Structure 1
Amino acid sequence: MKKMNAGALRLLAPAALALASLGAQAALPIQHWTQPSGARIYFVATDALPIVDVQLDFDAGDRHDPSVQAGLASVTADMLEKGVAAKGAEPALDENAVGEAWADLGASFDAGAGSDRMSFSLRSLSRPDLLDQAVALAAREIGEPAFPEHIWRRERERIVAGIKEANTKPGTIAGRAYGKDVYGSHPYGYEPTEETLARIDVPAMREFYARHVAPCRAKLSIVGALDRGQADRIAAALLARLPASFDCGALAPVPEVAALAAPKVERIPFASAQAHVLIGQPGYPRRDPDHFALTLGNYVLGGGGFVSRLTEEVREKRGLAYSVYSGFSPGLHAGAFTIGFQTRPDQADAAVKVAREVLRKFVAEGPTPAELQAAKDNLIGGFPLLLDSNRKLVGNVANIAWNDLQLDYLDTWRSRMNAVTVADVKSAFQRKLRPDDMVTVIVGAKP
């Protein structure tokens, strides 16, 4: 990861106070258009700081990994920062040269892949000379990655060593078992292993990248001190080195996450001071209209920390765990709903029983009016913190772009949260969750 140097950060200091008012304003309007290449642009103009943030997303996440090559999308994204190929009069740049070039510009560029998407992020001062150079360098990394073989061999050894170390930890074992049990054969449950990484070579990475990354598949979110024309030129320049000729037909479909056929309890022996417990099931995709009701309801159930029902019943009243949480992880597919905690091995069963009872009652009855209002006060009151920097704002714009949400999503967020009723939360939870048919994974509990 390349970071801005100290000189660049000092240039930002005079405008830093402007960030405090950004989140308190009404959300800034999002401009949207499609370039001739098919790239979709989402742009917010703001002069709060003399800086530009760009997030570039492709449908090239882990959900497209073959099961026998789990980890392919992630390692492909990681390798994009390990060097740039030579082209014409432009020399090749190894990973050290790339890092030095970004340091000289006082800018940053990162690549990574998650469950759904492969993302590139660029941050630069808006000064034209620096911004143009930063865009040009980012375009080389996006369009002309070197994928050096010797670097991949080194990185593979490093990743495998990390996997082996993680496998000594009960949390890793619990998470891996839980993912398999909740997601079944869906790619959301894949985990890279030494075996799957051994099947990944540079040709496989090149083929994966070429199939998924093209201008016609791009969504670019841009926030900063620019006008629309400048934003359009930046978007075009970032994509200019990708192949112009490309078959932009539909990618191979990814199946939906299947509902659980039956409840399951998996106990995994492990010599640890604490038992690690995960309880859950497939949840919902991000575009689901119940999102607001489920977000507020989960705050009451287990997402609100010390004010949640799970904390009150599991920790405060019975002392069965130091902390306990619940949460949804929606994506393009139904990400998991999860309750998680750690407890003494001898009291794992008691803690599981209480957590299930709390969940069962909440799904049956929903929150009280007071609980729902407290959740609204907290989440709506914290809304300005979602928008108080360029980096947070571009992340929210990218979320809107990726999930095809309405362009006024940020403007209407508070009113939509306020409109949620107790009945809405209750019916949403009853539609989504089946408390008696969930997966329970317990690692480290005594028999």
Structure 2
Amino acid sequence: MRTNSIFFFLLCAFVGSVFATPQIQHWQTPGGARVYFVEDHNLPMLDVAVNFPAGSAYDAADKIGVAGLTHGLLDLGTQELSEDDIARRLADVGARLAGNFDSDRSGLSLRTLSSAAEREAALAILADVLQHPAFPQAVLEREKNRLVASLREAETKPEFLAERAFGRAVFGAHPYGWQTAVSDVEKVQRNDLLDFYRAHFAESVAVVALMGDVSRQQAETIARRLTAYLPQGGAASALPPVTMKIGAQEVRIPHPASQSHILIGVPGIARSDADYFPLYVGNYILGGGGFVSRLMNEVREKRGMAYSVYSYFMPLQQPGAFQIGLQTKNEQVGEALHVVRETLQGFIAKGVTTEELRAAKQNIIYGFPLRIDSNGKILDYLSLIGFYNLPLTYLDDFPQRVEQVTVGDINRAFRRRIDPAAMATVIVGADEMK
């Protein structure tokens, strides 16, 4: 055992020596926005992201879909610029504006050259988009029509039907389980977007991430510029608790596809959970490690029942889902389900082996530098660290936290969190169970 500890100490030291983690600076603007900055002058580029607790889970129960449409229209017109103006001005300076949206977060990111003229022009657009969105009525109607068409098409696809049913089965009435329907979109009004924006896009709850070729003083100026004229509201960022214990249930949805889509899961963990690293490493062994995982070995390699089978935890502000997923021929759904459930039960009951843990640690630690090998990836981590209030040393600590996980840690964490006899199962496909 001592030999293994020495090996992993040397492994972590080697990873740290050949690939230094970025040094994160942190402060708050006068209005309360939290800022996370990595100064790097190796490339003449600046990456910026601004995120808010304004994801889909912040919709009101009678206004589902408003958060998504608010996010979607942020960069489609301001009080001074049309969407064509925005696109043209970004193209003129070679900048790129992108969005990110999930259950917890809504945000925009900008990549621009760091030269003064191009940087200032691009930042002016981002500031205008964030602080003065117009939500034009004509654009809203167009985007609603597009979303309705997209939803109607999605409702014909088995993967969409499976994910929608899975969210309901795992989360019940919690906002994490809500799915936007056509009827929700059709009733959204412009005032709904304005109200949501004013309530959730305040400076006091903003998280600003900056990565690249500017100084600390310049970064401070940029952060103030992007947030100073945001709304003064700011709804509470806490979401209702997730009900962790669910009963066993099986949902079957007929579909003419040649393969059935299967999802199995329960509520899992929050981003700040103390069991995060034992569950992360353990799940790598169970179904997160591709061809070296148990599920892949049992379902694909031994029996050829699926091209791919996976498992993962989705940590959010509140516990997100633990999910196992696969596709298999309709005639072997029953057998595939039996193998998956038997594999999970064995994993929970017997735990992982020392050999499995050693291999998982090697793969995760050696692969860690690839997680932060670009400015864009580092920006994503800055946003994550800021939004979920993770330690500034998170990237430095990651390999060591993985190395510290023991067989006992994994076994205890999975037994606490996952009850194979009380999980939701969703099957979308032809009813040809055998």
TM-score when normalising by structure 1: 0.91
Aligned to 1:12: none
State the Cα distance separating 1:113 from its structure 2 match. Answer: 2.3
Distance 1:145 1:66 in 2: 21
Q: Report the counterpart of residue 446 of structure 1 in structure 2.
A: 432
More divergent stretch after superposition (386-395 vs 234-243) = 234-243
Q: Is the 8 A contact 1:58 1:118 kept in 2?
A: yes
Residues 414 and 22 (structure 1 numbering): CA distance in 2 closer, same or farther, change over 3 Å? closer
The one-letter code of the counterpart of 1:265 is E
Aligned residue in 2 for 1:360: 345
Instruction: Provide the residue aligned with 1:430 in structure 2.
Output: 415
| Displacement of 1:24 | 4.4
Structure 2 distance, partners of 1:71, 1:434, is: 33
Report if aligned partners of 1:78, 1:112 keep a CA contact under 8 Å in 2.
no
The answer to whether the aligner puts 1:237 opposite 2:225 as a matched pair is yes
Match status 1:313 vs 2:298 = yes
Q: Deviations over 1:6-54 (max 9, x none)?
A: xxxxxxxxxxxxxxx9994321211111121111111111112111111
> 1:81–1:110: 8 Å Cα contact kept in structure 2?
no
Structure 2 CA distance for partners of 1:293 and 1:155, relative to 1, 3 Å:
same
Counterpart of 2:12 in structure 1 is none
In 2, the alpha carbon distance for the partners of 1:97 and 1:129 equals 18
Distance 1:313 1:27, change over 3 A: same
- Equivalent position to 1:166, from 154, 158, 162: 154
Would you say the 8 A contact 2:31–2:228 is kept in 1? no
For residues 290 and 30 of structure 2, what CA distance do their matches in structure 1 show? 48
Taking structure 2 as the reference length, what is the TM-score of the superposition? 0.93
Aligned to 2:369: 384
Aligned AA (1:43): F
SS of equivalent residue, structure 2 residue 392: coil
**Alignment partner of 1:180 is 2:168:** yes
Shift of 1:110: 2.3
Q: Is the Cα contact below 8 Å between 1:278 and 1:340 reproduced in 2?
A: yes
Check 1:400–1:131 CA distance in 2 against 1; reply closer, same or farther (3 A cut). same
- The residue identity in structure 1 corresponding to 2:432 is K
CA contact (8 A) 2:31 2:204 kept: yes
CA offset at residue 252 of structure 1? 7.2
Are the aligned partners of 1:301 and 1:326 in contact in 2 as well (CA < 8 Å)? yes
- Answer yes or no: is the 8 Å Cα contact 1:59–1:217 preserved in 2: yes
Task: Specify the SS of the correspondent of 1:223.
Answer: strand
Which secondary structure state, in structure 1, belongs to the residue aligned with residue 68 of structure 2? helix
Equivalent residue number for residue 98 of structure 2: 110
What's the secondary structure of 1:436's corresponding residue? coil
Which whole-Å CA distance do the structure 2 matches of 1:23 and 1:360 have between them?
Answer: 40
Report if the CA contact (8 A) 2:200-2:233 is conserved. Answer: no
Give ranges in structure 1 of 5+ residues lacking alignment: 1-20, 86-91
Matched, 1:374 2:362: no
Of 144, 148, 153, which residue of structure 1 is paired with 2:136? 148
| Letter matched to residue 313 of structure 2 | F
Task: Write the distance in 2 (CA, Å) between the matches of 1:69 and 1:349.
Answer: 39
Post-superposition shift, 1:365? 2.0
8 Å CA contact 1:23–1:388 kept in 2: the answer is no
Is the contact made by 1:265 and 1:439 (CA closer than 8 Å) also made in structure 2? yes
CA distance in 1 between partners of 2:22 and 2:237 (Å): 36
The residue number in structure 1 matching 2:72 is 78
- Report what 2:8 is aligned to: none
Closer/same/farther in 2, CA of residues 287 and 231 from structure 1, 3 Å limit = same
Distance in 2 between the 1:113 and 1:401 partners?
A: 16
Aligned-residue identity in percent: 43
Q: Does the CA contact (< 8 Å) of 2:53 and 2:237 recur in 1?
A: no
Deviation at 1:253, TM superposition (A): 4.6
Cα contact 2:202–2:233 (8 A) shared by 1: no
Tell me the residue number matched to 2:391.
406
Q: 1:224 aligns with which of 179, 192, 212?
A: 212
Distance 1:252 1:232, change over 3 A: closer
- Tell me if structure 1 keeps the 8 A contact 2:246–2:266: no
Q: Distance in 1 between matches of 2:108 and 2:159?
A: 29
- Note the residue ranges of structure 2 that are not aligned, 5 or more in a row: 1-14
CA drift of 1:68 comes to 2.7
Partner of 1:49: 43
Q: Deviations over 1:98-148 (max 9, x none)?
A: 100100011112234211011110111111121112111111111111111
1:27 matched to 2:21: yes
SS at match of 2:42: coil
Taking the aligned partners of 1:23 and 1:109, their CA distance within structure 2 comes to: 34
Among candidates 225, 243, 247, match of residue 262 of structure 1 = 247
Post-superposition offset of 1:328: 0.7
Q: Find out whether 1:96 has 2:81 as its counterpart.
A: no
User: What is the aligned partner in structure 2 of residue 14 from structure 1?
Assistant: none
Distance 1:24 1:185, change over 3 A: farther
Per-residue Cα deviation, 1:320-366 (whole angstroms, up to 9, x for no partner): 22211111111001111111111111110111111011111111222
Deviation at 1:390, TM superposition (A): 0.6
Count of matched residue pairs: 418
SS of aligned partner of 2:156: coil
Which shifted more, 215-224 or 315-324? 315-324
CA RMSD of aligned residues (A): 1.6
Deviates more, 1:431-440 or 1:313-322: 313-322
Give matches, 1:413-424, under 5 Å: 413-424=398-409
